[in-house]
């Protein structure tokens, strides 16, 4: 089993850059050759993709051992999915090269495989998009029935319609290209640009979902000194909402399991301030609930100043460090919130492991999308650079494929 926080050195992926440079050199040599060695080019691309996928998986394992709550975790998972799909396309092309129409597989067609990799990716992942969009749509209908017509509860419906609608538009435009060579090239560049943007966010969504699944299913050691319970709103009478009560119950369950196995009783930190429409602080409400469940008041610390998850982590860390600088920490939240909360914890240099309480089926898809959007908006510069580089690569390759005609 992979152990979180067991590696001190941050993983690097310079090997991917080295492999990419070698592959570019190989393609630079093979592509211009006459006669054109289509099999050699495709085999070199296939070997390159397998090697890079292996590097990303290895980096992912090391990243989980170093810091699972990292944006790099999302990237390694997301781009592994993308490269696997491209590998399938290349293997299919190789199969054609050994068929009766092998001679028709020209230099242009091989470069076209690379140029249209983005559009091929979203085409092959259509089943995932359809299933996820339908699930998102249905879950949002149920969410609205349970919690009312709020804009945040409409987010999933809007996104699911956009995802399916964009896929249909891209498919329609790519299947019915017409006009002069220049017009077709420009249109194909536009299609590949939007396909690249589409696949990027699809990769990041997949990466976020699987990264959260990994951290939610991780089993922390039963040697924790503190359990931080993250706040998330109160009922009008000051009692915890079902969501907040679930976070408290998850923390209590872990504490009792630890006490049974090791005899060690962790200290609870109830973390959450008082909102403008709340009669008491979330911290006090959680404290009242914990006491009602048999937790001694002496085993509880209140952090009642925070207004968001970042402040939850920062202020809770201050309390913990004032009592025990070598403490082992755990935080309890809702299952869809575990990964993003871990990112906040690492920002205040706190190596805490997260545990998550299950939520109603209709709540999870919409909440996961909100978490995904929240993570994306926190890394705008990094994403802009990577996305811009991907768009430029596919557009340049598309133009190159036409220049070689």
Q: Which of 327, 359, 384 is the last residue of a domain?
A: 327
Q: Do you know the residue count of the chain? A: 405
Confidence of residue 101 (pLDDT cuts 50, 70, 90): low
**Nearest partner of 372 among 63, 156, 147, judged by Cα:** 156
Average pLDDT over residues 243-267: 96
* Residue 273, domain CATH: 3.40.50.620
- Please check whether residue 359 lies inside any domain of the structure: no
- Please check whether residue 347 lies inside any domain of the structure: no
Average pLDDT over residues 152-179: 75
Q: Are residues 153 and 56 in the same domain?
A: yes
Q: Are residues 240 and 389 in the same domain?
A: no
pLDDT of residue 404: 56
- Rounded-to-integer distance, Cα 182 and Cα 179, Å: 8
Q: Are residues 93 and 176 in the same domain?
A: yes
Domain that holds residue 281: 226-327
Phi-psi region of 309 (alpha: psi -120 to 50; beta: other; left: phi over 0): alpha
Average pLDDT over residues 316-340: 95
Q: Are residues 123 and 145 in the same domain?
A: yes
**Nearest partner of 187 among 168, 167, 172, 200, judged by Cα:** 172
Confidence of residue 405 (pLDDT cuts 50, 70, 90): low
pLDDT at 227 over 90: yes
Of the candidate ranges 232-241, 290-299, 300-309, the one whose mean pLDDT is the lowest:
232-241
Mention every residue, 6+ apart, whose C-beta is less than 8 A from residue 238. Answer: 278, 279, 280, 284, 285
Burial 194-203 (b: 16+ CB within 10 A, else e): bbbebbbbbb
- Rounded-to-integer distance, Cα 371 and Cα 108, Å: 42
Mention every residue, 6+ apart, whose C-beta is less than 8 A from residue 61. Answer: 2
Number of domains in the chain: 2
DSSP string, 291-324: HHTT--GGGEEEE---SSHHHHHHHHHHHHHHH-
From the centroid of its chain, how far is CA 242?
A: 26
Phi-psi region of 159 (alpha: psi -120 to 50; beta: other; left: phi over 0): alpha
Mention every residue, 6+ apart, whose C-beta is less than 8 A from residue 177. Answer: 184, 187, 188
- Please check whether residue 342 lies inside any domain of the structure: no
Q: Are residues 172 and 205 in the same domain?
A: yes
Average pLDDT over residues 242-260: 96
- Please check whether residue 335 lies inside any domain of the structure: no
Average pLDDT over residues 51-76: 94
**Nearest partner of 393 among 226, 189, 217, 88, judged by Cα:** 189
pLDDT of residue 59: 95
Most confident of 116-130, 302-316, 378-392: 302-316
Burial 280-312 (b: 16+ CB within 10 A, else e): ebbbbbbbebbeeeebeeeebbbbbbbeebebb
pLDDT of residue 215: 95
Average pLDDT over residues 290-303: 96
- Please check whether residue 194 lies inside any domain of the structure: yes
| Cβ proximity of 63 and 72 under 8 Å | yes
Q: Are residues 136 and 280 in the same domain?
A: no
pLDDT of residue 281: 95
Of all residues in the chain, the percent with pLDDT exceeding 70 is 90
More confident residue, 389 or 96: 389
Task: Give 370-398 pLDDT, tens digit per residue.
Answer: 778 887 777 778 778 888 888 888 888 77
Q: Which of 276, 303, 327 is the last residue of a domain?
A: 327
| Cβ proximity of 247 and 282 under 8 Å | no
- Please check whether residue 337 lies inside any domain of the structure: no
The whole-model pTM stands at: 0.85
pLDDT at 203 over 60: yes
Q: Are residues 44 and 191 in the same domain?
A: yes
pLDDT at 108 over 70: no
pLDDT at 56 over 90: yes
Confidence of residue 110 (pLDDT cuts 50, 70, 90): low
Average predicted confidence (pLDDT) for the chain: 85
Mention every residue, 6+ apart, whose C-beta is less than 8 A from residue 7. Answer: 62, 65, 66
- Please check whether residue 207 lies inside any domain of the structure: yes
Burial 156-170 (b: 16+ CB within 10 A, else e): bbebbeebbebbeeb
Average pLDDT over residues 191-197: 81
Task: Give 27-48 pLDDT, tens digit per residue.
Answer: 888 877 777 677 788 889 899 9
Q: Which of 327, 349, 382 is the last residue of a domain?
A: 327
Neighbouring CB atoms inside 10 A of 321's CB total 12
Average pLDDT over residues 299-321: 96
Task: Give 1-32 pLDDT, tens digit per residue.
Answer: 789 989 988 898 899 999 999 988 988 888 77
Q: Are residues 238 and 201 in the same domain?
A: no
| Cβ proximity of 13 and 55 under 8 Å | yes
- Please check whether residue 362 lies inside any domain of the structure: no
Confidence of residue 103 (pLDDT cuts 50, 70, 90): low
Q: Are residues 246 and 146 in the same domain?
A: no
| Cβ proximity of 204 and 382 under 8 Å | no
Q: Are residues 195 and 230 in the same domain?
A: no
Average pLDDT over residues 300-305: 96
Q: Are residues 21 and 112 in the same domain?
A: yes
pLDDT of residue 325: 93
pLDDT of residue 104: 56
More confident residue, 301 or 159: 301
pLDDT at 98 over 60: yes
- Rounded-to-integer distance, Cα 349 and Cα 8, Å: 14
Q: Are residues 234 and 213 in the same domain?
A: no
């Amino acid at each position: 089993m992979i152990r979180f926080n067991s590696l001190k050195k941050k993983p690097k992926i310079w090997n991917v850059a080295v492999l990419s440079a070698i592959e570019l050199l190989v393609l630079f040599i093979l592509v211009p050759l006459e006669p054109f060695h289509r099999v050699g080019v495709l085999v070199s691309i296939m070997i390159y993709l397998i090697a890079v996928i292996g590097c990303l998986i290895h980096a992912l394992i090391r990243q989980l051992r170093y810091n699972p709550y990292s944006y790099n975790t999302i990237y390694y998972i997301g781009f592994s999915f993308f490269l696997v799909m491209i590998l399938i396309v290349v293997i299919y092309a190789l199969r054609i090269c050994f068929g009766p129409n092998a001679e028709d597989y020209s230099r242009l067609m091989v470069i076209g495989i690379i140029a249209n990799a983005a559009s091929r990716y979203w085409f092959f992942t259509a089943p995932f998009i359809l299933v996820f969009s339908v699930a998102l749509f249905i879950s949002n209908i149920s969410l609205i029935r349970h919690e009312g017509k709020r804009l945040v509860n409409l987010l999933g419906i809007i996104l699911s319609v956009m995802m399916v609608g964009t896929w249909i538009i891209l498919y329609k435009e790519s299947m019915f290209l017409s006009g002069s060579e220049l017009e077709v090239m420009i249109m194909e560049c536009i299609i590949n640009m939007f396909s690249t943007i589409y696949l990027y966010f699809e990769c990041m969504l997949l990466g976020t979902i699987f990264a959260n699944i990994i951290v939610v299913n991780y089993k922390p050691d039963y040697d924790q000194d503190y359990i931080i319970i993250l706040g998330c709103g109160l009922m009008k009478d000051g009692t915890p909402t079902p969501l907040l009560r679930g976070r408290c119950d998850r923390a209590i369950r872990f504490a009792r399991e630890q006490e049974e196995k090791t005899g060690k009783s962790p200290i609870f930190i109830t973390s959450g301030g008082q909102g403008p429409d709340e009669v008491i602080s979330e911290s006090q409400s959680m404290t009242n609930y914990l006491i009602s469940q048999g937790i001694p008041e002496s085993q509880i610390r209140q952090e009642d100043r925070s207004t968001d998850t970042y402040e939850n982590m920062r202020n809770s860390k201050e309390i913990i460090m004032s009592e025990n600088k070598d403490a082992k920490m755990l935080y309890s939240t809702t299952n869809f919130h575990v990964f993003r909360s871990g990112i906040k914890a690492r920002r205040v240099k706190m190596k805490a492991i997260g545990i998550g309480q299950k939520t109603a089926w209709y709540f999870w898809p919409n909440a996961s999308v909100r978490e995904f959007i929240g993570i994306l908006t926190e890394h705008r510069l990094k994403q802009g650079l990577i996305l811009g580089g991907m768009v430029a690569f596919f557009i340049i390759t598309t133009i190159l494929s036409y220049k070689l005609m």
